[in-house]
């Protein structure tokens, strides 16, 4: 095989369209570029309509959405918040932003998301101690919803607000409900690697007007609606600009197509690699529809002859980006002092997991390049083992 002589295949690059450019230029020419105005209003309205939820607030990032969601839920310094351990660090960081303490809940094997049984056990333990948490933050990992019928019922029973980190799952569903609408507050990211992007940005959604109004207030430096600058609490500069909102509107218009393209990537990889010994793809849970934001698989080196990292490095040699599955939060040095419930399942996903290039702009030739490298690397590994 040749090395670095072909165009790089990225893990999940932005996929822009002429519609995005047209709307961006319209916003630029209108001079409504600040974090207010018709493009922001339209993006929020269209996003809420797409998810069939009353209120959406456009923000500067998914992390900002998580931060404000916690504040809107009443989480305060010293409180406890239960959250998924298999996630990107922004989820846990937002909990620290408000001065609260995360407790990490392991994954289940059916969805790779928060284990409802472990959540219930921990809530029961805390309730017995008179220490119920201030909130639960679930994470819909890699484009798939957690088991919300069980999780939401458990949270209602213990009177705990449920925040859904849907940063990776826009376009997924749980039954007939859209990801992000399954808790009290939902949070989305439009980072450059997400299924739709505004380059940077996020959205908070809710069914409660008072929550949406409060989040808008906090996101605009908590300025009171008077003729001078009046502030009664600490606010933040978290609103999304008009320019990026225009891009988001264009991206949102092709969301369904982007989901189809990512699911086609998964199917291609699955069909090409399913006969290999020791390869197990992330399952699609029976209760929902996954976007397959990233195609993820587990690699058993005893059966395959190579490790997940062997495959990652082989792909990198051929100018192809792949990535390990998230390192669980309870293994991160910055959160080493936090309580974890379970951990073995997410540890296994991290050790054996690999995410393959999954962008919606991938061509069949791109996917064939990826598969060719994997098959060649596995063949070498099995030959050595023999």
Q: Which pLDDT does position 303 carry in this prediction?
A: 95
pLDDT of 343 higher than 90 = yes
Q: Which pLDDT does position 382 carry in this prediction?
A: 67
* Weakest mean pLDDT among 22-36, 162-176, 233-247, 254-268: 22-36
The residue-averaged pLDDT of 309-323 equals 98
Q: Which pLDDT does position 97 carry in this prediction?
A: 98
The residue-averaged pLDDT of 129-136 equals 97
Residue 385 pLDDT grade (very low, low, confident, very high; cuts 50, 70, 90): low
At 187-212, the pLDDT tens digits run 999 999 999 999 999 999 999 999 99
Q: Which pLDDT does position 200 carry in this prediction?
A: 93
CA dist 199 and 183 (Å) reads 26
> What is the model's pTM?
0.95
At 248-288, the pLDDT tens digits run 999 999 999 999 999 999 999 999 999 999 999 999 999 99
Q: Mean pLDDT score of the chain, rounded to an integer?
A: 95
pLDDT of 347 higher than 50 = yes
% of the chain surpassing 70 pLDDT: 98
pLDDT of 2 higher than 60 = no
The residue-averaged pLDDT of 298-316 equals 97
pLDDT of 1 higher than 50 = no
82 and 137 Cβ atoms separated by less than 8 Å: yes
Please give the domain boundaries of the chain with CATH numbers for all domains. 18-252 (3.40.640.10), 255-385 (3.90.1150.10)
The residue-averaged pLDDT of 33-61 equals 95
The residue-averaged pLDDT of 100-108 equals 98
The residue-averaged pLDDT of 39-56 equals 97
CA dist 15 and 359 (Å) reads 8
Q: Which pLDDT does position 229 carry in this prediction?
A: 87
The residue-averaged pLDDT of 212-234 equals 91
CA dist 293 and 112 (Å) reads 14
């Amino acid at each position: 095989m040749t090395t670095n002589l072909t165009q790089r295949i990225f893990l999940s690059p932005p996929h822009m369209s002429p519609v995005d450019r047209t709307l961006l230029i319209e916003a630029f020419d209108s001079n409504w570029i600040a974090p207010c105005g018709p493009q922001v209003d339209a993006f929020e309205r269209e996003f809420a309509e797409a998810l069939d939820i009353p209120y959406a607030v456009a923000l500067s990032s998914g992390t900002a959405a998580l931060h404000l969601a916690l504040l809107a839920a009443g989480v305060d310094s010293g409180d406890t918040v239960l959250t998924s351990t298999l996630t990107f660090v922004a989820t846990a960081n937002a909990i620290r932003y408000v001065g609260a303490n995360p407790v990490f809940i392991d994954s289940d094997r059916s969805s790779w998301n928060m284990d409802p049984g472990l959540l219930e056990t921990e809530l029961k333990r805390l309730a017995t101690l008179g220490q119920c948490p201030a909130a639960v933050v679930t994470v819909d990992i890699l484009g798939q919803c957690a088991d919300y019928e069980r999780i939401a019922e458990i949270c209602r029973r213990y009177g705990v607000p449920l925040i859904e980190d849907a940063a990776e799952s826009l376009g997924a569903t749980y039954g007939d409900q859209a990801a992000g609408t399954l808790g009290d507050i939902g949070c989305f990211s439009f980072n450059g690697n997400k299924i739709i992007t505004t380059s940077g940005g996020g959205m908070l959604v809710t069914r409660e007007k008072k929550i949406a109004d409060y989040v808008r207030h906090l996101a605009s430096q908590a300025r009171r609606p008077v003729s001078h600058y009046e502030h009664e609490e600490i606010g933040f500069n978290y609103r999304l600009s008009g320019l990026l909102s225009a891009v988001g509107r264009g991206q949102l218009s092709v969301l369904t197509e982007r989901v189809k393209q990512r699911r086609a990537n998964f199917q291609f990889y699955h069909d090409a690699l399913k006969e290999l010994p020791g390869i197990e793809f992330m399952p699609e849970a029976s209760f929902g529809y996954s976007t397959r934001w990233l195609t993820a698989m587990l690699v058993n080196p005893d059966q395959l002859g190579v490790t997940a990292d062997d495959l990652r490095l082989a792909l990198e040699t051929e100018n192809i980006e792949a990535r390990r599955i998230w390192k669980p939060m309870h293994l991160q040095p910055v959160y080493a002092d936090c309580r974890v419930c379970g951990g073995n399942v997410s540890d296994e996903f991290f050790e054996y997991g690999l995410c393959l290039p999954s962008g919606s702009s991938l061509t069949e030739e791109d996917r064939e390049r990826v598969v060719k490298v994997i098959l060649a690397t596995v063949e070498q590994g099995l030959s050595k083992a023999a």
